[in-house]
């Protein structure tokens, strides 16, 4: 096909070949190593094609590699040759240590393999140009830091024209206007030109030049048509360890930020949230639905169950037969039917056995068991924030799903307390003898800063503080708008650092506000019972397509005072005729991590009937979201 199209193109230009020499285009798997000879049962022309392709790979100098490589996070190209080359990207900058990433799977994306493929041939030749248009994630994702360093080792100059348009991240232009992709895909893309002259010193890093292009698709096309590498106003990006970002970052606040303590070190243990791999099968809205599903599953054979419950093909860590074995061994008496923290303000039910590669894919029992037989609370944090904002944290008091606050990023669950185990079984004893999951050396810094004495449990004793106070302090700091804005670049790339309290009074004030946030987010505050909304219309209560309708007036006697001016209010319609009245626009649009809970909660219930409890629950959520916005402004009045 490529030969045919090239011939047609040249014919259109008036070109006439003078001999029968073929185009130097070959059918081959680029990600496979050249073989010395090719034996095939098929026709000789295919064998000749493969032999000539191998000769190019093996013997010919390659000076230019261009293309639009395939994008596939779940790559099936796992040949030995390319996977060996990929090991260079799976090392920390410096090339000596293995990359310290718990799950570096995105490095195996096909587009990354093709960059490594092109780099290999340019390196082999000693000079040349690699030019690709591909997903832009490698430019600033922490996971790709080893790849970026390796590219800087190889190339003299790297030009990156970031075309953005990442609808997954809900990117917008810098002025707030719409930003569109140049392709009909969700991933943002960039045009990347890697230049190797052979003149760079061996241990010297190359230079990076970057340009951001936001806006509508037609404007981007027009820009690309009218500009060249020389006319684009690229800015040079300094090579800054340890991440070696290839985009502009503001690291002016780094010195102050690094004075804070690392939350990953404050809590002695943590783990990712659980993964079921089959949420629709394992997680339900009520306990009876869980029972019905499990009992129905156990009463039919595997293939019938696969069809009935839409379980799909088996994968390595979740298989129908393994789920059956886990349930047959543990249901109903050896596991536990329990509520879970699934999404913000959205609890579900499941049956939890704690066994990996069974009913659950990864239950994370080493952490989740501490929520099953005693009161506990956890701070949930994302290490890398790829969501629409980098404020990816929330509390939970039950076993917790990895996508609690973002569909893009997995949360790590940091329990406040640990419960002792029995010696005979991997279960938690019903015991009040829990211990704080805290590093006591760091806790001592709180004591030193505040003059308070630490106690394992909250006491009425004057001049003491407990683990819950530390949690509340941290939660308040994480909700400071100034903190979020000042340190936003750091909050995207690692677990947060939080400053040690400045003094006793500041600590107490932040603990109080953090406590209010905690109780609001767990819907434990009495404040959430003071509804600010109404649900005035009778009907079937079936959720259709939720929408917010702005009210450009404020009803007399229904004004909601929020600081000085009344906040804009509106109606949230759940269908054509029924709505929640007096919903603050702030609450409707409020983000927690990558979700807007007031919108997501309704969208997740499309075509379902809301019960009275559901209607009350939604009104509590609106209060919690509205009050969160108010408290965040109060937090910002306190020096951190």
| Whole-number pLDDT of residue 423 | 47
Instruction: Report the chain's mean pLDDT, rounded to a whole number.
Output: 91
Nearest CA to 62 out of 148, 126, 140, 158 is that of 126
**Architecture label for domain 61-249:** 3-Layer(aba) Sandwich (3.40)
**Other beta carbons within 10 Å of 503:** 11
**Cβ neighbours for 36, distance < 8 A, ≥ 6 positions apart:** 54
pLDDT tens track for 563-609: 444 678 999 999 999 999 999 999 999 999 999 999 999 999 999 99
* Contact (CB, 8 A) for 364 and 272: yes
Is the N-terminal amide bond of 332 cis, ω within 30° of 0?
A: yes
Q: Please give the angle made by the CA atoms of 151, 103 and 415, to the nearest 5 degrees.
A: 135
| Domain segments of the chain as ranges | 61-249, 265-423+432-519, 526-636
| Whole-number pLDDT of residue 552 | 63
How do 399-400 and 336-343 pair as beta strands? parallel
DSSP class per residue in 372-388 = TSS---EEEEESS--SS
**Rg of the chain, C-alpha, whole Å:** 29
| Whole-number pLDDT of residue 563 | 43
| Whole-number pLDDT of residue 170 | 79
The whole-angstrom separation of Cα 268 and Cα 38 is 57
Rounded to a whole number, what is the distance in angstroms from the first to the last CA of the chain? 65
Q: Low-confidence residues of the chain, pLDDT below 70?
A: 26, 28-29, 34-53, 59, 73-74, 386-390, 422-432, 552-566
């Amino acid at each position: 096909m490529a030969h045919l199209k090239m011939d047609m193109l040249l014919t259109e230009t008036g070109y006439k070949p003078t001999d029968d020499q073929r185009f130097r285009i070959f059918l081959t798997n680029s990600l496979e190593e050249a073989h010395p000879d090719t034996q095939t049962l098929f026709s000789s022309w295919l064998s000749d094609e493969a032999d000539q392709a191998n000769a190019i790979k093996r013997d010919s100098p390659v000076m230019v590699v261009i293309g639009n490589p395939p994008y596939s996070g779940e790559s099936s190209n796992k040949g030995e040759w390319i996977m060996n080359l990929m090991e260079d990207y799976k090392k920390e900058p410096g090339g000596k240590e293995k990359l310290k990433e718990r799950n570096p799977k995105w490095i195996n994306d096909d587009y990354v393999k093709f960059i490594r493929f092109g780099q290999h041939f340019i390196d082999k030749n000693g000079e040349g140009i690699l030019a690709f248009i591909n997903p832009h994630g490698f430019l600033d994702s922490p996971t790709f830091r080893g790849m970026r360093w390796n590219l800087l080792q190889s190339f003299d100059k790297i030009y990156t024209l970031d075309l953005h348009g990442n609808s997954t991240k809900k990117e917008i232009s810098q002025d707030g206007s719409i930003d569109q992709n140049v392709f009909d895909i969700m991933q943002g893309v960039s045009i990347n030109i890697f230049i190797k002259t052979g003149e760079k010193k061996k241990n010297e890093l190359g230079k990076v030049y970057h340009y951001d292009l936001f806006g509508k698709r037609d404007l981007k096309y027009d820009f690309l048509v009218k500009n060249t590498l020389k006319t684009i106003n690229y800015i040079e990006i300094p090579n800054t360890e340890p991440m070696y970002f290839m985009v502009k970052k503001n690291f002016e606040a780094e010195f102050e930020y690094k004075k804070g303590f690392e939350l990953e070190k404050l809590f002695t243990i943590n783990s990712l949230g659980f993964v079921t791999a089959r949420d629709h099968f394992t997680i339900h809205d009520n306990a009876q639905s869980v029972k019905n599903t499990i009992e129905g599953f156990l009463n039919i054979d595997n293939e019938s169950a696969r069809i009935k419950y839409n379980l799909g093909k088996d994968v390595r860590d979740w298989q129908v037969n393994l789920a059956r074995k886990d349930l047959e061994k543990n249901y109903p008496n050896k596991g536990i039917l329990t509520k879970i923290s699934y999404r913000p303000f959205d609890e579900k039910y499941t049956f939890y056995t704690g066994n990996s590669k069974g009913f659950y894919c990864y239950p994370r029992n080493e952490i989740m068991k501490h929520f099953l037989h005693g009161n506990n609370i956890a701070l949930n944090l994302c290490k890398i924030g790829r969501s629409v904002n980098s404020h990816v944290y929330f509390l939970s008091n039950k076993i917790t799903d990895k996508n609690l606050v973002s569909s893009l990023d997995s949360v790590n669950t940091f329990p406040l307390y640990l419960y002792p185990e029995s010696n005979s079984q991997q279960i938690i004893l019903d015991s009040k003898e829990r211990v704080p999951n805290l590093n006591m050396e760091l806790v001592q810094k709180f004591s030193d800063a505040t003059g308070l004495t630490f106690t394992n449990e909250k006491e009425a004793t004057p001049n003491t503080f407990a683990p819950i106070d530390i949690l509340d302090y941290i939660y308040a700091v994480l909700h400071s708008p100034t903190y979020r804005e000042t340190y936003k670049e750091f909050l995207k790339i690692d677990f947060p650092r939080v400053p040690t309290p400045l003094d006793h009074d500041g600590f107490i004030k932040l603990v109080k506000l953090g406590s209010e946030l905690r109780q609001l987010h767990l819907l434990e505050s009495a404040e959430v019972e003071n509804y600010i909304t109404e649900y005035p219309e009778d009907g079937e209560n079936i959720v259709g397509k939720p929408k917010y309708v702005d009210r450009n007036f404020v009803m007399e006697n229904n004004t909601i005072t929020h600081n000085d001016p009344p906040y804009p209010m509106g109606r949230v319609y759940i269908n054509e005729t029924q709505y929640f009245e007096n919903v603050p626009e702030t609450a409707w649009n409020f983000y927690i991590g990558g979700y807007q809970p007031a919108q997501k909660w309704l969208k997740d219930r499309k075509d379902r009937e809301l019960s009275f409890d559901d209607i009350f629950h939604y009104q509590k959520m609106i209060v919690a979201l509205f009050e969160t916005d108010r408290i965040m402004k109060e937090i910002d009045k306190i020096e951190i």
